[in-house]
Amino acid sequence: MLLYKTRKGIVIDHDGKFYASENRNWDSLINDDQLYKNLQSLVSGLKPLSKADALIESEILAPIGEQEVWACGVTYYRSKVGRQEESKSSGGADFYARVYEAERPEIFFKATPHRVVGHLGKVRIRKDSAWDVPEPELTLVVTTSGKIVGYTIGNDMSSRSIEGENPLYLPQAKTYDGAAALGPCIYVTDKPLDKSTGIHLDIHRSGKVVFTGDVTIDQIVRKFEDLVSFLYRECSFPAGAFVMTGTGIVPSSDFTLQENDEIRITIEPIGTLINTVA
């Protein structure tokens, strides 16, 4: 089932039927260990609408309330190799090889809600950065108790020039206004995600596709539950959390984003998250 936050209220797509409901508190709605079951019973009391009546694309908001956004790093081999390349001259390359193998994953703070944009919103590149990429990441929706109740699409926008200069600059490479996108909705399920789930990235510039890449989530070297369990060891999350699970798609070193590029990230069954670079 797909759960959308929109300007007018919530919209649920259940088996291709659309249901709308106003006046719900987003945080108490999604921070629910029984989210799937409770959405099913909510839907059973609503009348289905046509898609056109229920969901207007331009009214979709980022599916976030008061949650913090955290992100995991070097969870795919491709990310390890990409980081090693970019940090060769800084002497930081070894850290990425080590964290890829280590028991403790790399987890970093990504964004407060006001730094997050939704579907069709504008993501940003830093003015003091010369080399920038989107990172298309399956993102976990986690409750206060640490239960994964849904999945969304995340874009962990990253400055490779700042990160490559020195790994200690990671917070500046990763966290700034418009550095994260989430959406278009939350896929709510009571089953684990299929291991063959694909992540597809397209970058469009002036009507042409300038980058395309694919990966499947079975390439992740970590279990989602382990990522959440490390994050939740000594941090509490009163409203729950969003956890980006890392990128397995890194464009080659000669690629950088430009203003007005359109970034399209598709993960079925969630959908496609589209953002333009400001």
Task: Report the 10 Å Cβ neighbour count for 190.
Answer: 11
- Per-position x/- string for 8-47, each x denoting binding to ligand DO4 as judged by CB under 6 A, each - no binding: ----------------------------------------
- CA distances in angstroms from 31 to 142, 240, 278, listed in the order given: 7, 6, 32
Helices (runs of H) and strands (runs of E) counted in the chain: 8, 18
- Contact between 126 and ligand DO4 by CB under 6 A: the answer reads no
Among 86, 135, 202, 261, binds ligand DO4 (CB under 6 A): 135
Under a CB-based contact definition with an 8 Å cutoff, are residues 116 and 273 in contact?
A: no
Which amino acid belongs to residue 152?
A: T
- Per-position x/- string for 139-168, each x denoting binding to ligand DO4 as judged by CB under 6 A, each - no binding: -----------------x------------
Binding residues with ligand DO4: total (CB under 6 A): 11
- Contact between 132 and ligand DO4 by CB under 6 A: the answer reads no
Reading the block at residue 53, the tokens are 């009546």
Least separation, in Å, of the C-beta of 266 and ligand DO4? 18
Least separation, in Å, of the C-beta of 81 and ligand DO4? 11
184 preceded by cis ω (within 30°)? yes
Written as one string, the DSSP assignment of 37-96 is HHHHHHHHTS--B-HHHH--GGGEE-S-SS-EEEEEES-SHHHHHHHHHHTTTTT-HHHH
Question: Of 87 and 247, which CB lies nearer to Mg ion in the complex structure?
Answer: 247
Question: Of 106 and 261, which CB lies nearer to Mg ion in the complex structure?
Answer: 106
Instruction: Name the one range near ligand DO4 by CB under 6 A: 22-30, 71-79, 175-183, 205-213.
Output: 71-79
Distance CA 180, CA 155 (A): 6
Report helix angle 93-101 to 77-86, nearest 10: 160
- Contact between 106 and ligand DO4 by CB under 6 A: the answer reads yes
Question: Of 79 and 175, which CB lies nearer to ligand DO4 in the complex structure?
Answer: 79
Give the binding site for ligand DO4 (CB under 6 A): 71, 73-74, 79, 83, 106, 135, 156, 170, 246-247
Give the binding site for Mg ion (CB under 5 A): 135, 156, 247
